Structure 1
Amino acid sequence: MKRITLKLYSFNELDRDAKQKALTTYRDLNVNFDWWDDEFEDFIELCSYIGIAVIKDKIKFRGFYSQGDGSGFSAKVDMPKLITAIENQTWKDYAPMQEFPFTAPGINRRVLPLLAKNILPNEPQIISRSQQYGVVVDLGVYVINENGREHDNVFEELDKLEEWLRKIAEVLNRYLYTTLEKQYEFLCSDTAIKESILNNDYLFTADGRSANYLEQLTKRKPINLKNHDH
């Protein structure tokens, strides 16, 4: 039997080069689980303030530094609430400092009561693209009829409304992707990794290599060779 004595160090006991090696080794420490869940919940809550009910299991993303990266989400939209919320910047009740380049829809105001009173049958949705990242929208308006009278003249206004909703959806989708990217970059930063290393009491060899597995080896029970078959 050979006995080896090896000194192990906490992160703060390492020299500068060893600390940098330790940080590099644990670069993915904070992102090897579902780190995005809080960002999803925050996005869902913010959208709820403006009449957009995001479906959590329909949020998707890929990131962050390759061509084709992006995000998408699906949601049901309460159009009258959305219009009022945009005009009143209601999202600031949840995120006071958040600015969005939203504007009121430039449509004939006679159309809005038709929406509010459900005279226009509609199920507006924001839909995550299936084959790639991004969003599309659908007002869900098919037949416009009130007391046997069709409102053909409002279709042009509804096209404008759908385009307005598309811009809203794209702004929110960019916001979603940006918040995910910022959180990922923070979790992979030296500051965040160092905090996690210290919180977990990780140990290292003098040159900054992880030594947690060595500590675990010392806790194993020795093998009794006398009881082993050969």
Structure 2
Amino acid sequence: MPRIVETTVYQLGELSTEAKEKARAWFRESMDTDGWYEFVYEDFEAICAILGVRLKTRAVRLHGGGTRQKPCVYFRGFWSQGDGACFEAFYSHARSAPHKIRAHAPQDGELHRIADALQAVQKRNFYQLRADASHRGHYYHEYCMAISVERDSPTCQDMTADAEEAVTEALRDLARWLYRQLEREYEYQTSDAVVDEAIIANGYTFTASGRRFG
């Protein structure tokens, strides 16, 4: 037989400290597992374009049918051994990359260093270096990138002795940079202040123990 049960519900600010933590944990578990890092990916794509890194793409299925092309960028995080980020791409010299990266990210010394390193090794090789980076294995970090480097010289001139290592390390440093941006964004999106703001904005209510009610 149906019966009416009355339950007292609370807004986040009315909960005890312990109940607030439970409410926040619920929200973090229910977060969009993809959407939080889209802004980081978009910025990374712009940075890659400046540096001469053309990201490879793969087809992904859409909910309504059909497919779209998505950049081959991968990560896993954030606190386990083997966590990291990697990407698949073709690299070639991009004119004025050091200047353009400073205009795009004036405070990011690591990006400046990567752009300068690529520019320097390209200059030593008459701007003829090309690279191909592909993912290998089951993990996602910079050492899962198989990187081959060659010199596209019309006279078949060999690349300098340091070229392969310099380009490889610069691309791996770029993957490390991406992982740090993802980690920072995740920490921000899951911080108490941001979670509390989202809970309040959505009008969620909870029982006295912090269990989601409505």
2: CA distance, partners of 1:160 / 1:31: 44
Which structure has greater strand proportion?
2
Q: Could you tell me the TM-score, scaled by structure 1's length?
A: 0.72
- Contact 2:24/2:192 (CA < 8 Å) preserved in 1? yes
Are residues 77 and 19 of structure 1, via their aligned partners in 2, closer, same or farther at CA, if it must alter by over 3 Å?
same
Aligned CA RMSD, in angstroms, stands at: 2.5
Whole-Å Cα distance in 1 between the matches of residues 105 and 75 of structure 2? 23
- Identify unmatched segments of 5+ residues in structure 1: 116-121, 213-230
Could you tell me how far 1:7 is from its partner in structure 2?
1.8
Task: Give the % identical residues.
Answer: 28
| Deviation sequence 1:62-116 (CA, Å, 0-9, x none) | 111111112110122222x26x424x4x31211111112333535874x306x2x
Amino acid of the residue matched to residue 171 of structure 2?
A: A
One-letter amino acid of the structure 1 residue matched with residue 106 of structure 2: P
SS across alignment from 1:49: helix
- Residue correspondence of structure 1 range 46-61 to structure 2 within 5 A: 46-55=47-56, 56-61=70-75
Contact 1:138–1:162 under 8 Å retained in 2: yes
TM-score (norm 2): 0.77
Q: Is the 8 A contact 1:187 1:193 kept in 2?
A: yes
Aligned length, in residue pairs:
192
Tell which structure's C-alpha radius of gyration is larger: 1
Report matched runs for 1:4-23 at 5 Å: 4-23=5-24
Query: What amino acid sits opposite 2:201 in the alignment?
Result: N
Q: Does 1:124 align with 2:131?
A: yes
Match of 1:223 in 2: none
Give runs of aligned pairs for residues 49-198 of structure 1, distance below 5 A.
49-55=50-56, 56-79=70-93, 81=94, 84-86=96-98, 88=99, 90-100=100-110, 101-102=113-114, 103=117, 104-105=119-120, 109=124, 111-112=125-126, 115=128, 123-133=130-140, 134=142, 135-141=145-151, 145-146=154-155, 150-151=156-157, 154-155=158-159, 157=160, 159-198=161-200
**Could you say what secondary structure the match of 1:26 adopts?**
helix
57 and 50 in structure 1: CA distance in 2 versus 1, 3 angstrom threshold:
closer
Q: Which runs of 5+ in 2 are unaligned?
A: 57-69
